[in-house]
Each structure stands twice: as structure tokens, then as C-alpha cells.
């Protein structure tokens, strides 16, 4: 009897193992198919992806080419511009300096850059990190084709009015990270990028990650592209180093960084958690941004992420901590964001992250005449999957040639599974013709697409 039980247990074990292996193979096939189709649709020359599950490497794979002119293939050591993924390194460095009692997040920046005039002397380090300082998006005197000292760029902000009082609004600002970099330099006593390399990259064994200057030789550097009507073209090469998006890296190094985030004891657990703790405005409103990371709910779980864009390059970094899943994607085309691809890939890797399907119906008047004022467009949307929050609906009206002639959107919408949501949009047609109504359902900030449906109804304008 014992022998029979042992035999049965082994059969079950081997069956489960075989099923798991088969499922893993199917997952990789679906992932490859998704990525290759996306690259073909977007004309992307090359792409690298890294996947970690529960802190363990699950996949590193590269697709396509690093340099169209030479035909050099991508490898896991190919060096990409990672653009705004750089912000998290500056945030980590600031927290490290705070842990060493060399600064406080609540300190005004002027405490360390004493020459800052009003109103720059009112903003805190925390507000700079969370894009709530009120600063403009980009410094007015930032010249991408010139070498510039960081303080020269900061001085160009002295006379620019704030878009809001510090802490009152969230306004994405690359400019703020110039000030943060200068604070790191002054507090640490070494150049901000050197401090980050020594304190973060070397302990994480990130041997290829550094600032990406144009003039220096960087082995394995990937060429960046833009896709136009004429096909792929080389993008412009910025000479200036901007702290908000300064670094180059490889998919190997970025995977090492993710593991470092989970395992390092350089920061206490409480302080490290601040990286992903959503900030609040002065009025108490909770944001979806933390310290160099977006942090927001996503189909019933938590999504920690950031994307990056630089001439010729796109990057996206997704962490789903409750699911123990990380995806990092780097590409050498700057046309389209990678978030949508990353979200779809996450759904393949973990069914809990699969996006819900939508049923969309549209009603319009039977008779419409050119010049009619605000004809009603009645839209009913049913989420046929899981609940989603903070979503965005866009309506586009196209003419017979497929050209968009009108757009309208509503944002901040929450959907409960199987519960119809009705929206009433309107349009004032200017001339006769046949028009189609197209509806898109997106995540917050147009970050990714749940659904995009065309030709839902035809409007005949007389």
C-alpha cells in the first residue's frame, strides 16, 4: 500500500511539474508574440525586457538591433538612455543623506543652496522630489546642445514665476531635479553623479550605469531613433546632462537595481518605504506620485512605476509589489510610450493583472444637420471584468477620410464590474458628411489603454 501511495505521489508530482513547465513555455510564447507584434506595429528597432518574480530573475531577453546602420544586434549589455528612470536614483540618494542626518526632507532647499532667491527659497526638498514645488516643467535656460553647469541652469529659474505655491499643486518638473542634484553635491562634498555611482551603483554591482554624455566613448551604446513618414531617422543628440534623466544603463544593470531595492540595508525599511509612499498636497489631497515614482491602485492591487523619454529612447519600469512582479522595458525608439506594452505583458505573466474587457454602446440622433448646436452622443460603457478606478474616457469623431475632427473626454471615472456607466457627450457638426464615433478607455493620465473601439456608430450630417 505504501509503495502504491509513493508511486501515486510521484506521478502527481511529475504531472504538476510538467504542467508548470508547459504553462511557462506558453507564457514565454505569448510574451514573445506580444512584443514582436508591438515592435512591428510601432517600427521599433530594438527592445530589451527584464522580468523578476518574487525577487528572482524570471526573464531577460533582447529583440531587434542596437544600431540600424551597422546592423549590430541588441544584447543584455547594450547601453540605453533610461531618461526619467534616473529620478529614482536621485530620490534614493537624498534619502540616504537624510538617514546619515546630513539633511531633512522638510528642509527648504535654500538651507543648502543659500543663494536661492524668493520664491525658490520657499520650496522644500520633499516638494522638489514629489513635483509639488510649483516649478516649471523644464528650465527656461536649459540648452540641450550646450555644456552647462547645473548652477547656471538653476540661476535661469530665478526670475521665472512659480506655477503654484509650493505644496499646492502637483506639476511634473524636471527643473526641480536640477536643484536636488546640486543639493546632493553640496551636502555630500562630491559631484552628485559620483556620489550616486559610489553609494548606489557600485554596491548594486551596476557596472554599466553612468551619466550618458555624448562625447565620451561608451562601449555598447545603443543608437536612438524616431519613426517618421520617411521611415526611421536618427534623433538629435543632446550634449547637456540633465539630472532628471541623466543616466544610461543596460537591462542587466536595471534588473540588478530592482534586486538591490528589495535587498539592500543601506536604507531602513521605514525610510525605503518613503520611495513609494504617495505624497499629499497642502490641502490633504493624496497624490499618485511619491519620491521619483508613481504609486497608484491598479485593478485591485498596487502599481509602482515610472516611464522615461529622451530623443531616440523610451523606458518603462513597473513594480507590482503585492504580486511580487517587476517588468523593466528599454527601447531605442522615442515615438510611443511603453506603458501599454508593459501592462499587457504583466497580464500575461499574472492573470490577476489582466485588463478587463469593455462593452461600449453609442446612441446618436437619427437626423443631424450641419450647424446643429451640441447634438447629444449617449455612451454606455460596461466593465465586464474587474473593478477599476481613476480611469479616463475619450470620444473621437472621425470624418470619411479617417481624420479626427473632434475630441472630448471625461476623467477620474470609477467602474464597477458589470455595472453600466452612462456618459453624455456632445458635438456641433460644421459641415455635411458621414462621421464615425470612436471611444477609448484609458488608465489615469492616458497612461495605458484598456480599450479602443472604432466605428461604433455612424453620424450622417446633412
Render pLDDT for 316-369 as a digit per residue (tens, 0 to 9): 999 999 999 999 999 999 998 899 999 999 999 999 999 999 999 999 999 999
**E strands within 235-349?**
247-249, 294-298, 301-310, 313-320, 325-331
Torsion sign over Cα 348, 352, 353, 359: positive
Q: Kindly report, residue by residue over 94-114, the tens digit of the pLDDT.
A: 999 999 999 999 999 999 999
Name the pLDDT band for 5 (thresholds 50, 70, 90).
very low
Detail the DSSP E strand segments found in 261-403: 294-298, 301-310, 313-320, 325-331, 358-363, 375-383, 388-398
pTM, to two decimals: 0.88
Name the fold adopted by 358-461. Coagulation Factor XIII; Chain A, domain 1 (2.70.50)
312 secondary structure, DSSP code: T
Please say if the pLDDT value at position 78 is more than 60: yes
For residues 49 and 318, is the Cβ–Cβ distance under 8 A?
Answer: no
Q: Provide the pLDDT confidence category of residue 19 given band limits of 50, 70 and 90.
A: low
CA nearest to 166, candidates 109, 122, 129, 117: 122
Q: For residue 13, name the pLDDT band (cuts at 50, 70, 90).
A: very low
Cell for 307?
A: 516611464
Residues 410-418, mean pLDDT to the nearest whole number: 92
Rounded CA-CA distance 336/158 in Å is 34
Q: Rounded to whole angstroms, how far apart are CA atoms 349 and 447?
A: 20
Locate the domains of the chain by residue range.
83-353, 358-461
Tell me which residue of 179, 185, 120 sits closest to 152, measured CA to CA: 179
83-353: what fold?
A: Beta-lactamase (3.40.710)
Looking at the predicted structure, is the pLDDT value of residue 181 above 60?
yes
Amino acid at each position: 500500500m505504501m509503495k502504491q501511495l509513493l508511486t501515486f505521489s510521484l506521478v502527481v508530482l511529475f504531472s504538476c511539474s510538467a504542467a508548470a513547465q508547459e504553462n511557462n513555455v506558453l507564457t514565454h510564447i505569448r510574451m514573445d508574440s506580444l512584443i514582436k507584434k508591438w515592435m512591428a506595429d510601432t517600427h521599433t528597432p530594438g527592445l530589451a525586457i527584464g522580468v523578476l518574480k518574487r525577487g528572482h530573475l524570471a526573464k531577460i531577453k533582447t529583440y531587434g538591433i542596437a544600431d540600424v546602420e551597422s546592423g549590430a544586434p541588441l544584447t543584455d549589455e547594450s547601453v540605453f538612455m533610461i531618461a526619467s528612470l534616473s529620478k529614482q536614483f536621485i530620490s534614493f540618494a537624498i534619502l540616504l543623506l537624510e538617514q546619515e542626518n546630513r539633511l531633512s526632507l522638510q528642509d527648504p532647499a535654500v538651507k543648502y543652496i543659500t543663494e536661492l532667491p524668493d520664491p525658490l527659497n520657499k520650496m522644500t526638498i520633499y516638494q522638489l522630489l514629489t513635483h509639488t514645488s510649483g516649478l516649471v516643467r523644464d528650465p527656461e535656460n536649459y540648452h540641450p546642445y550646450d555644456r552647462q553647469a547645473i548652477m547656471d541652469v538653476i540661476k535661469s529659474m530665478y526670475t521665472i514665476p512659480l506655477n503654484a505655491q509650493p505644496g499646492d499643486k502637483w506639476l511634473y518638473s524636471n527643473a526641480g531635479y536640477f536643484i536636488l542634484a546640486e543639493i546632493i553635491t553640496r551636502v555630500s562634498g562630491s559631484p552628485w553623479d559620483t556620489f550616486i555611482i559610489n553609494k548606489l551603483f557600485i554596491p548594486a554591482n551596476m557596472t554599466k550605469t553612468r551619466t550618458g554624455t555624448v562625447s565620451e566613448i561608451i562601449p555598447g551604446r545603443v543608437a536612438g531613433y524616431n519613426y517618421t513618414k520617411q521611415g526611421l531617422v536618427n534623433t538629435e543628440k543632446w550634449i547637456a546632462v540633465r539630472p532628471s534623466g541623466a543616466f544610461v544603463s543596460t537591462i542587466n544593470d536595471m534588473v540588478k537595481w530592482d534586486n538591490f531595492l528589495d535587498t539592500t540595508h543601506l536604507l531602513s525599511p521605514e525610510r525605503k518605504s518613503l520611495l513609494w509612499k504617495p505624497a499629499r498636497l497642502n490641502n490633504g489631497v493624496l497624490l499618485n506620485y511619491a519620491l521619483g515614482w508613481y504609486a497608484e491602485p491598479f485593478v485591485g492591487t498596487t502599481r509602482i512605476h515610472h516611464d522615461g523619454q529622451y530623443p531616440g529612447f523610451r523606458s518603462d519600469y513597473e513594480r507590482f509589489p503585492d504580486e511580487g512582479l517587476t517588468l523593466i522595458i528599454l527601447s531605442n525608439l522615442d515615438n510611443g510610450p511603453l506603458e501599454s506594452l508593459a501592462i499587457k505583458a504583466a497580464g500575461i505573466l499574472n492573470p490577476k493583472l489582466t485588463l478587463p474587457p469593455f462593452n461600449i454602446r453609442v446612441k446618436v440622433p437619427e437626423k443631424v444637420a450641419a450647424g446643429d448646436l451640441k447634438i447629444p452622443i449617449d455612451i454606455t460603457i460596461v466593465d465586464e471584468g474587474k473593478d477599476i478606478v481613476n480611469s479616463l474616457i475619450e470620444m473621437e469623431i472621425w470624418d470619411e477620410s479617417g481624420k479626427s475632427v473632434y475630441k472630448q473626454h471625461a476623467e477620474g471615472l470609477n467602474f464597477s464590474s458589470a455595472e453600466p456607466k452612462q456618459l453624455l457627450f456632445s458635438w456641433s457638426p460644421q459641415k455635411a458628411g458621414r462621421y464615425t464615433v470612436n471611444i477609448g478607455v484609458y488608465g489615469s493620465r492616458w497612461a495605458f489603454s484598456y480599450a479602443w473601439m472604432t466605428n461604433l456608430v455612424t453620424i450622417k450630417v446633412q
